[in-house]
Amino acid sequence: MAATGKRPEIIELSRDLRGVPQCEDYERMISGMMYNPNMPKLLEARHLCRGLTRDYNDLDTKTVPYDQVFEKRLELLRKLCGKVGDGTFVEPPFRPDYGCNMIIGSNCFINWNLTVLDTSLVVIGDRVQIGTGVSLLTAGHDTSILSRQKFVEFGHPIFIEDDCWIGANVVILPGVRIGKGSTIGAGSIVTKDIPAFSVAIGAPCRVRKTIQSAEEEEQDPENPYRHLSREH
């Protein structure tokens, strides 16, 4: 359902993002209120995103040495998205709606065919890995036929916290928060929040078990990963 008022914490989070079309319609949009996506500043923002997306996806790697591709991709990604941390790589094709409403943390890896309807904010933490064919969908519509005739919709933010793994072909719906360190199994449809340190799978996605935190793993003498360096 749509929100009845603005969300100051979401609006404040947007203040530091590149290229957002700050205006009344934008604030309503990212807050989850009903809004019209055909307002001029919103249309312009999506138009700009299409061009930047093409630049990113159509990078001619024949003209860029292999050891410079990572930095070139990061440069283009930072023009496309609201904020991107160091060490992050997104395999093309990548399909955001606004782009500027995305925050991606450091040292993330996102595989082919990520689709993001970032009507509201999409916030991805550090060291998140996302498999192929994933959809992050903040946009929603009321079941009211009249709302569609009036061209109004709403969107709620998605948060994926640090150290999560999102399997291939997962769909994450509006308003969902994936807790720190969680794994979402391939093909899942996530309709509700997932607690930290969970393994969840299914349609709808449900928690199947909980796991140790990284700190607990480091203290576990039986853990096979505790002595590995990052280079491995």
Which pTM was predicted? 0.94
How far apart are alpha carbons 215 and 218 in whole angstroms? Answer: 5
Catalytic residue, candidates 141, 156, 227, 232: 141
Q: Where do the domains of the chain lie?
A: 8-219
Dihedral angle sign, alpha carbons of residues 89, 49, 112, 208: positive
How far apart are alpha carbons 93 and 112 in whole angstroms? Answer: 6
Residue 141 appears among annotated catalytic residues: yes
Q: What is the pLDDT along the chain (232 residues), one digit of tens a residue?
A: 899 999 999 999 999 999 999 999 999 999 999 999 999 999 999 999 999 999 999 998 888 888 899 999 999 999 999 999 999 999 999 999 999 999 999 999 999 999 999 999 999 999 999 999 999 999 998 888 998 888 889 999 999 999 999 999 999 999 999 999 999 999 999 999 999 999 999 999 999 999 988 899 888 888 888 888 765 4
Show the tokens assigned to 131: 């498999």
- Segment (H or E) for 206: strand 206-210
- CATH, domain 8-219, list 2.60.40.3680, 3.40.30.10, 2.40.10.120, 2.160.10.10: 2.160.10.10
